[in-house]
Amino acid sequence: MSRQKDREDEFTRERLKMDDRTLLAAIGEALYRQSWKTELAGDLNVDDRSLRRWIQTGEVPEGVWRDLIVLLADRRGVIDSLLIAVRERS
């Protein structure tokens, strides 16, 4: 098994153990890095104070998870396209 595959498997196992606030933070950091709270709040069309409250309380509205699926899928589509372009050059 490759080292990359091992890391992916470990990340998957850890992700399944995350509570809502930890998962929300992990998604934000993966999508936006350092300024993730402001950027994620903007893409979700909510005030960043709302996002910070969700992180603090762990109470994330159900509809937010559906919106996050869309954001993650869009980003994955971009990354997949870039990956194909890079593979074609190698």
Single pTM value for the model? 0.76
Please state the domain count of the chain.
1
Residues 6 or more apart in contact with residue 56 via CB below 8 angstroms: 21
Task: Give the span between the Cα atoms of 69 and 10, in whole angstroms.
Answer: 21
Q: Which of 6-10, 37-41, 70-74 has the lowest mean pLDDT?
A: 6-10
pLDDT over threshold 60, residue 1: no
The size of the chain, in residues, is 90
Average pLDDT, the chain: 90
pLDDT at 17: 80
Domain range enclosing 64: 3-89
Note the pLDDT tens digit of each residue in 20-49: 999 999 999 999 998 899 999 999 999 999
In the three-class reduction of DSSP (H, G, I as helix; E, B as strand; rest coil), residue 48 is classed as: helix
Residue 14 Cα distances to 19, 34, 60, angstroms: 11, 21, 20
